């Protein structure tokens, strides 16, 4: 199974009640919220709230807790969307490409696509020279790549990390 297939593997639906949905919505806004505050926010006592959060973690619904950084503040203000098309769509080449891309820290996202390009990457770098090095020193050297097309983001209009969870309470 490829890196991306693993991400999008068909999973059995997980059942949630209204409290689970409130917990998920609240933690998406503030993943560092103390359990006592979370319990109060979702109308539970602390012990059952913590048990529900742990259950959501164990079932893989909550995958991780992270700090979201300002890219410009850490010197990584250049966002590039890269469309990649292999020479031929043969499984060994696709797997090799997915593995190689998964190991690159500047590749923030990679999707197997329909349409004109087979892959869409979001790459974050400090400047044009760093992007050139990424393309010439890495991407163009991956075996089986046929076409690379890049688009530079001029401005970020919207960026969300919270999923649009359905409203089950209203």
Q: Where are the domains of the chain?
A: 15-68, 72-152
Q: What is the pTM of this model?
A: 0.85
Tokens of 110: 């990679």
Triad 166, 120, 142: Cα angle to 5°: 145
How far is Cα 103 from Cα 99, in angstroms, rounded to an integer?
A: 7
Please tell me the class of the 15-68 domain: mainly alpha
- What would the pLDDT profile of 104-133 be if each residue is shown by its tens digit? 999 999 999 999 999 999 999 999 999 999
How far is Cα 108 from Cα 121, in angstroms, rounded to an integer?
A: 7
pLDDT of 89: 83
User: Under CATH, which architecture does the 72-152 domain have?
Assistant: 2-Layer Sandwich (3.30)
């Amino acid at each position: 199974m490829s890196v991306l297939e693993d991400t999008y593997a068909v999973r059995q639906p997980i059942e949630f009640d209204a409290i689970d949905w409130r917990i998920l919505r609240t933690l998406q806004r503030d993943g560092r919220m103390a359990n006592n505050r979370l319990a109060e926010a979702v109308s539970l006592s602390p012990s059952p709230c913590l048990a529900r959060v742990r259950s959501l973690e164990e079932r893989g619904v909550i995958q991780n807790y992270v700090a979201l950084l300002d890219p410009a503040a850490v010197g990584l203000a250049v966002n590039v969307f890269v469309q990649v098309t292999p020479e031929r769509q043969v499984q060994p080449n696709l797997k090799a490409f997915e593995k190689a891309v998964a190991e690159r820290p500047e590749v923030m996202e990679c999707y197997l696509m329909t349409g004109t390009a087979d892959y869409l990457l979001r790459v974050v770098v400090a400047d044009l020279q760093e992007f050139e090095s990424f393309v010439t020193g890495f991407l163009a050297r991956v075996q089986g790549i046929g076409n690379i097309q890049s688009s530079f983001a001029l401005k970020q209009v919207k960026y969300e990390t919270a999923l649009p969870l359905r409203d089950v309470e209203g």
